[in-house]
Amino acid sequence: MKILAFTPFIYLTALSMSLAQPQQPPRAAKKTKELNIHGQTRIDNYYWLNDRENPEVIDYLNAENAYTKQTLAATNGLQTKLFDEMKARIKEQDESLPYKENGYYYYARFVKGGEYPIYCRKKGTLKAAEEVLFDGNEMAKGLSYHDLGGYEVSDNNQIAAFGEDTVSRRMYTLRFKNLKTGQVYPEEIPNTEGGSYAWASDNKTLFYVLRNPKTLLGYQVWRHELNTEPTRDVLIYEEKDNQYYMGLYRTKSKKYIAIVSDHNGVATEYQLLNAQNPTGTFRSFCKRERGHEYQLQHFNDRFYVRTNWQASNYRLMEVSEDQAFADRAAWKEVIAHRPNVFLEGMEVFKNHLVLSERKEGLLQIRVINFVDKSDHYINFGEPTYTASVSYNPDFNAKLLRFGYTSFTTPNTVFDYNMDTRTKKLKKQQQVLGGFDAAQYTSERVYATARDGVQVPISIVYKKGTKLDGTAPLLQYSYGSYGYSSDATFSSNRLSLLNRGFVYAVCHIRGGQEMGRSWYEDGKMFKKKNTFTDFIDCAEFLVAKKYTSSAKLFAMGGSAGGLLMGAVANLRPDLYRGIVAAVPFVDVVTTMLDETIPLTTGEFEEWGNPKNKDSYEYMLSYSPYDQVAAKAYPNLLVTTGLNDSQVQYWEPAKWVAKLRDLKTDANQLLLHTNMDAGHGGASGRFTALKEVALEYAFMMNLVGLKE
């Protein structure tokens, strides 16, 4: 990095910070960096913060942490109380609902005091002796971070391939464990894509995805033979286009190993190999073509294809196995395109086809009987909820396992008989401490955006909360990548609701709640719709007296953190406080640097600023670039030093610039987890401390001390 000039700066070390007053926040150095493109020059005074090896950078982050700790010292008791009550709602000794696959029942369980799950199985029957596959608590001993990035068991049930990340960069070291003897094999393969592992049917050949250590993109598929040196592994495929994300898996039918290259919103390509022929050649099912995205399921002698070919909301096609790998002329339509229904997913059984469909923002599950051609929807009976098809590995099953949750219904799993249309409750999240769903109310309302579009809002609050403008309200959304923000249950959120908060999820454009066009209208050159939708929803909530600007808070993370940054610039007067978690705020500079992890795969979401029109549009909303000398709301910004998706320096630079330019006396706090990355702390209880910090920040601002 070439530094053109620099000025003296002041920053406080963690030691001196402990003696300082909160009125004296740390200030990062200004070291002028000129960034030139399209005949324009931008000055970035905090560019130097992108060097994590620089001791000055670490000192500055530690000083900000100390300042945050000191500023919120008065909330320490509240944070402890929040942590204790959130932890107390969790059943410490618990286990997941078992599922049966290849003769074994698999499940995970937690023990009292344990931070991590213990993965287990039983052979043939749930009354059989338990086999412990992986004890997360033992594996995490002595580590500040640990993540088991999925595991895959060989066809003979004897070998498990598993990945471990101990840094929080989502770079997993692939290892192998003999499930009969407990032996962990000596070979280790670093920098793999966690969970992207697929066994061939010979029980000794494993395919895996290697990640580029600089871009962090999965870019190569390799073949490994058990009990051989990884140096002998064979490169099978390399993704040459670094705008594509790559995955690898074994189909539900177990017949094929699939390499999936996906450029979100642009194109998809599947390459398939018969699992019985591990040294064979992968074949493209349908070559990538700009504008064509698809998803495959294989069953018996045919493939089912969920495709947006001549269908913006997707339709379902089928093709016989002997006509596959040719062209789309052989595809036959099963479910036609519908302009008001988005086909989100599918699950195939011997006698049934299950579709996940999204209509008017709600996900519905549709069951089609192959035998008598009848079809029906599962009735859920709530105004706002989330339903999803769970893991269903058995093709011959008549029972569909699905999950259901809402703002007032804890996570629930049902087994649904697709013939008799009856469901059986199998497991519901137990919320300790006397939770009563009847004490809470959920609503679904619509705000009119400035261009006339109706934006759904899902709302929950405790009964008795006054809706006269006096209640504090937390407004949440994400609004990017076509990711839908659904109404789900959170036992942590009860700590807000029980103290009189209203909680609102805004289903803004950029998500996919209302169909594919909802996403298309919130990306690229229409990205600002995401921000204005959120603001218009906030104004609606104030006008309808769910809250007032004096008690309105906003929260979003990652791309939702970009939303927070844009809203803070556009309407700082509208909010009492904003929580921006791992926020993507330095949009232009990041997207101009293709060496930064994951940048290239994002061009079709935000635009490529090397193109002048994209540059100018992105610059016009980039939160870091749009910081100005004006008053801002109270801000809590969080990040992780090892974040692999939004690098820590983006929020750090944003806070530094805000601290220099803002004209108000409101709180501006940066909290960096020095041991974690994008998802925060890895332990199930340790992570609650970060939630308690966020909640205490908001509660303190509206005078809630307990």
What is d(CA 22, CA 602) in angstroms, rounded to the nearest whole number?
Answer: 39
Among 127, 111, 173, 97, smallest CA distance to 413 is for 97
DSSP labels, 443-459: EEEEEEPTTS-EEEEEE
What is d(CA 272, CA 198) in angstroms, rounded to the nearest whole number?
Answer: 12
Estimate the crossing angle of helix 686-701 against helix 76-88, to 10 degrees.
130
Residues in the chain: 706
| Contacting residues for 669 by C-beta, under 8 A, at least 6 apart | 64, 67, 68, 71, 72, 635, 636, 637, 697
What is d(CA 706, CA 697) in angstroms, rounded to the nearest whole number?
Answer: 12
Angle at 171 between CA 293 and CA 211, to 5 degrees: 50
What is d(CA 327, CA 576) in angstroms, rounded to the nearest whole number?
Answer: 57
First to last CA, the chain: 48
Using the structure block, give the residue that is written with the tokens 């601290």. 659
Using the structure block, give the residue that is written with the tokens 């805000």. 658
Q: Are residues 542 and 552 in contact, defined by beta-carbon separation less than 8 angstroms?
A: yes
Using the structure block, give the residue that is written with the tokens 């759904």. 456
Strand residue runs (E) in 329-409: 332-335, 342-348, 352-359, 362-369, 375-377, 386-389, 399-405
Please state the φ and ψ torsions of residue 436, each to the nearest 5 degrees: -130, 110
Burial 373-385 (b: 16+ CB within 10 A, else e): eeeeebebebebb
Catalytic residue among 262, 415, 486, 643: 643
Tokens of 121: 């199985």
Among 158, 135, 157, 159, smallest CA distance to 148 is for 135
Among 591, 574, 559, 568, smallest CA distance to 668 is for 568
Catalytic residue among 146, 480, 678, 682: 678
| Alpha carbon separation from 686 to 44, 87, 555 (Å, rounded) | 36, 10, 20
Catalytic residue among 491, 558, 614, 622: 558
DSSP labels, 172-239: EEEEEEETTT-PBPS--EEEEEEEEEEE-TTSSEEEEEEEPTTT--EEEEEEEETTS-GGG-EEEEE-
| Alpha carbon separation from 268 to 285, 287, 293, 295, 318 (Å, rounded) | 10, 8, 5, 8, 17
Tokens of 405: 């949750």
Q: Are residues 147 and 683 in contact, defined by beta-carbon separation less than 8 angstroms?
A: no
Q: Compute the CA torsion angle 506, 510, 514, 518 (nearest 10 deg).
A: 140
Q: How many CA atoms lie within 13 A of 491 on its CB side?
A: 22
In a 3-state reduction of DSSP, which class is residue 262? strand
What is d(CA 174, CA 172) in angstroms, rounded to the nearest whole number?
Answer: 6
Active site includes 558? Answer: yes
Tokens of 359: 């209509």
Please state the φ and ψ torsions of residue 55, each to the nearest 5 degrees: -60, -30
| Contacting residues for 640 by C-beta, under 8 A, at least 6 apart | 168, 582, 648, 672, 673, 676, 677, 678, 679, 680
Q: Annotated catalytic sites, by residue?
A: 558, 643, 678
